[in-house]
């Protein structure tokens, strides 16, 4: 158990730092989690308010289903632990939430449509289960809120309405994506952030919004 | 005391180098300070004209309220020490001044309005005391000047007029922000630079200026 | 032979990681190969689905002309091994396939024209055999497909139609380029990615598409 | 003498690698030189065609006034050694030539005007001798050519016509700047590249070209 915690936390820390380096988790933004037990549910998660460029294993918290902390008592789990749990309840083993400039910009530009269609890119094949670039990914945009239970509810509804989506954006806030492993969730972050940048730059060359 | 100096200077150097890496302190631009004593006021500050990518603890100067150097005699404190002191007199423990491309560009574009409104972004919650993305941050733009006492006066006026602002821009020059600790001031730099880039890219997709 | 494999694989790994760092091979995208024997043809190639930021020599596979693996049995060679072989049959010693944002964006914008003209840039002289900036490089855009033999056929046709081109783009997918050595192929990637970004940014300042 | 060579070459290598990291010397582009003796003139310079990300002291060449190599016989000095010497004859101790995307783009956009006016930026004060942001820097654009003596002649004319300029652009090619020391020349590169990016992004928000 201890070893599980340490190994998974160590991988989570390395990934979190790499996102910070790319500018996707500046200013203590972003939070990252992974399941380390299912019965009862136990997950590890980054604490609230830490610098992701200096993230350490010692900072990683262990929490249960309600988001209450069971270990690593010195810090509060991220306020968004509830959203992570909503995603984990649908089967994900790891959940990553990043704040990138392009995600922020596009979640604003596409908010009236409720989501961003991403279609025709080979990169889409990096999303689990996608076999062809002809795939159309719908990235739902959920209205942001500081009322966490209400936001968790909105997220649940979006997840149910778009069960095939590999992530969602909170408006003017950031990206949530997940995977069946830490590596898969990391891949999904990189792919969706790449695609958001590509879509954003396409808007600038061929204005279509 | 010596230890205080060394520890704080060492943290300042690491943060300064990270800003250089991100392109926010190129060409010896930018200057960074932190309070190490209040009675009488003593602060450490980067010297004028050093390469922030090669900043060392040995280069850090100690100055008093007038910006005169009391230690580390070989170099001149930044000419902008006066501006740092104006901010510190209002309670800040650390002051960071960066020169980013986006800050420079937006300080020009928004100069006629006297400031940049930043509103609706979750990232705003990283600014001390901000509890909701519904916050409206006003980033005042102060006309640049080479007359330091006059510029310090303009900065003072802006700080008094907008006491809730977490930073200000000098026109076509750069960002000043601060915090109750080095970590908080670093967070404020990352958040405001992120938001300036997001606002700038939004202008390019949806021209509104 | 073993030593050949190890040295070439080690160089390939270092280059692959440098592309990942620049954001040209995110999310397990991209694949890289090099010839280690011609009679019969043997090449080394990155496996399908590995994180290019954590690429290791142990992951590199050795395959023959049909793309079937002859060594390093634990992973599948990239599905695009066939495309690499088409390029290698025309004489290349190393083939690099990157997925950059600018390549993706421009392959979409210029698709109706079937390619991108790049002309007048000094940087073109870094392409093997080009002696002057007055060179006009035509970067063909090949329609993307999941049918590998069909795609290999399209690529072959493009290579025959534009024998002087130093690379090609797969539409909304990425860049292929190559060279007479790993170093030359790396140089071609850097030059073409640079030129794609320059062309893309020119479109944004002077809309001409 | 040997020590001089080694120390200066070592500093040159570190700076060259930092430019490569920032994307200002990709694909073996760029070349860097420094004076190590004046009577007779001896300078060190990067060789033609080396990867600036793997630049080593052993690769650095020593050449005399005619650009002929006097040391480090295995490689050819950069073909642009003549241009470096033209600048050095006017007093510079170090000359840096970078190829950035923004320099390339703006040298194209502003070519009809023969140069780029850069005015009102605090960052200009990092250019040697500039005391105020109210300075107007004129960055001449010289038509590119493969005829090195002819190009050296054009550069000489531009240097004479604009004796106060701190650099010049070769059209669709890159930036030349210099300084009274390696550190000053490095600072000038960072400042001019920063300003070119700022001017370029301003064009995208407020089209004025």
Instruction: Please state, in angstroms and rounded to a whole number, the distance separating the CA atoms of residues C187 and C134.
Output: 19
With CA atoms as reference, the chain B residue closest to D119 would be B172
ipTM for the complex shown:
0.94
pLDDT in tens, B47-77: 999 999 999 999 999 998 876 666 655 677 7
CB contact under 8 A, D133 and B102: no
What tokens does C151 get?
């795609």
Residues of D within 8 A of B204 (CB-CB) are 204-205
Instruction: Please state, in angstroms and rounded to a whole number, the distance separating the CA atoms of residues B61 and D135.
Output: 29
CA distance C55 to chain A (A): 13
Asked if residue A209 has pLDDT above 50, the reply is no
Asked if residue D55 has pLDDT above 90, the reply is yes
CB contact under 8 A, D198 and B105: yes
Instruction: Please state, in angstroms and rounded to a whole number, the distance separating the CA atoms of residues C2 and C18.
Output: 24
Residues of B within 8 A of D133 (CB-CB) are 144, 146, 172-173
pLDDT in tens, D129-183: 999 999 999 999 999 999 999 999 999 999 999 999 999 999 999 999 999 999 9
Residues of A within 8 A of C59 (CB-CB) are none
pLDDT band at D209 (very low <50, low <70, confident <90, very high): very low
User: What kind and span of H or E run contains A38?
Assistant: strand A31-38
Asked if residue C208 has pLDDT above 70, the reply is no
CB contact under 8 A, C27 and A191: yes
Asked if residue D125 has pLDDT above 60, the reply is yes
CA distance A42 to chain C (A): 27
Find chains touching chain D: ≥3 CB pairs under 8 Å: B, C
pLDDT reported for residue D69: 63
With CA atoms as reference, the chain D residue closest to C132 would be D146
B79 in D contact zone (CB under 8 Å) = no
CA distance A175 to chain C (A): 15
Within 10 angstroms of residue D70's Cβ, the number of other Cβ atoms is: 12
CB contact under 8 A, A172 and B197: no
CA distance B202 to chain D (A): 10
Comparing CB atoms, the residue among B53, B109, B170 nearest residue D122 is: B170
With CA atoms as reference, the chain D residue closest to B197 would be D201
Find chains touching chain C: ≥3 CB pairs under 8 Å: A, D
What tokens does A86 get?
């909503």
Comparing CB atoms, the residue among C53, C172, C200 nearest residue A133 is: C172
Asked if residue A183 has pLDDT above 80, the reply is yes
CA distance A157 to chain C (A): 28
B160 in A contact zone (CB under 8 Å) = no
Comparing CB atoms, the residue among A191, A194, A205 nearest residue C203 is: A205
Q: Where do runs of H (alpha helix) occur along chain D?
A: 2-21, 81-89, 101-109, 148-161, 182-205
A156 in B contact zone (CB under 8 Å) = no
pLDDT reported for residue A165: 98
What tokens does C124 get?
């073109």
DSSP D116-171: EEEES-GGGGGSTT---TT-EEEEEEEPP-S-HHHHHHHHHHHHHH-TT-SEEEET
pLDDT in tens, A103-140: 999 999 999 999 999 999 999 999 999 999 999 999 99
pLDDT, average across residues C188-206: 95
Residue with tokens 């009102």: D120
C187 in D contact zone (CB under 8 Å) = yes
pLDDT, average across residues D80-107: 96
CA distance A3 to chain B (A): 31
Selected residue of C23, C50, C75, C104 to mutate for chain A interface (largest A Cβ count, 10 A): C104
pLDDT reported for residue C209: 42
C186 in D contact zone (CB under 8 Å) = yes
CB contact under 8 A, B121 and A203: no
Phi, psi angles (nearest 5°) of residue C22: -80, 0
pLDDT, average across residues B178-193: 98
pLDDT band at D108 (very low <50, low <70, confident <90, very high): very high
D181 in B contact zone (CB under 8 Å) = no
Asked if residue B209 has pLDDT above 50, the reply is no
pTM: 0.96
Asked if residue B122 has pLDDT above 90, the reply is yes
Comparing CB atoms, the residue among C23, C28, C105 nearest residue A201 is: C105
Residue C10: partners with Cβ closer than 8 Å, 6 or more residues away: C57
pLDDT reported for residue B105: 97
pLDDT reported for residue A67: 67
pLDDT reported for residue A206: 79
User: What kind and span of H or E run contains A3?
Assistant: helix A2-21
pLDDT in tens, C110-146: 999 999 999 999 999 999 999 999 999 999 999 999 9
Of B24-33, C75-84, D93-102, least confident by mean pLDDT is C75-84
Instruction: Please state, in angstroms and rounded to a whole number, the distance separating the CA atoms of residues B45 and A51.
Output: 23
Look over chain B and give the mean of its residue pLDDT values, rounded to a whole number: 93
CA distance D180 to chain C (A): 28
């Amino acid at each position: 158990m201890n070893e599980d915690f340490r190994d998974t936390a160590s991988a989570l820390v390395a990934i979190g730092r790499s996102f910070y380096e790319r500018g996707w988790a500046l200013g203590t933004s972003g939070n990252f989690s992974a399941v380390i037990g299912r019965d009862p549910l136990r997950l590890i998660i980054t604490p609230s308010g830490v610098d992701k460029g200096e993230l350490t294993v010692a900072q990683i918290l262990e929490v249960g289903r309600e988001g209450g902390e069971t270990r690593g008592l010195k810090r509060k789990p991220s306020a968004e632990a509830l959203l992570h749990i909503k995603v984990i309840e649908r089967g994900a083993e790891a959940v990553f939430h990043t704040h990138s400039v392009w995600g922020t910009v596009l979640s604003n530009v596409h908010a009236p449509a409720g989501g961003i269609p991403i279609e025709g890119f080979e990169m889409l094949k990096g999303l689990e289960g996608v076999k062809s670039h002809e795939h159309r990914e719908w990235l739902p945009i959920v209205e942001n809120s500081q009322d966490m239970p209400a936001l968790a509810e909105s997220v649940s509804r979006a997840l149910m309405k778009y069960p095939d989506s590999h992530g969602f954006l909170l408006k003017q806030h950031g990206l949530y994506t997940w995977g069946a492993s830490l590596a898969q969730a990391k891949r999904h972050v990189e792919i969706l952030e790449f695609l958001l940048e590509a879509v954003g730059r396409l808007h600038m060359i061929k204005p279509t919004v």
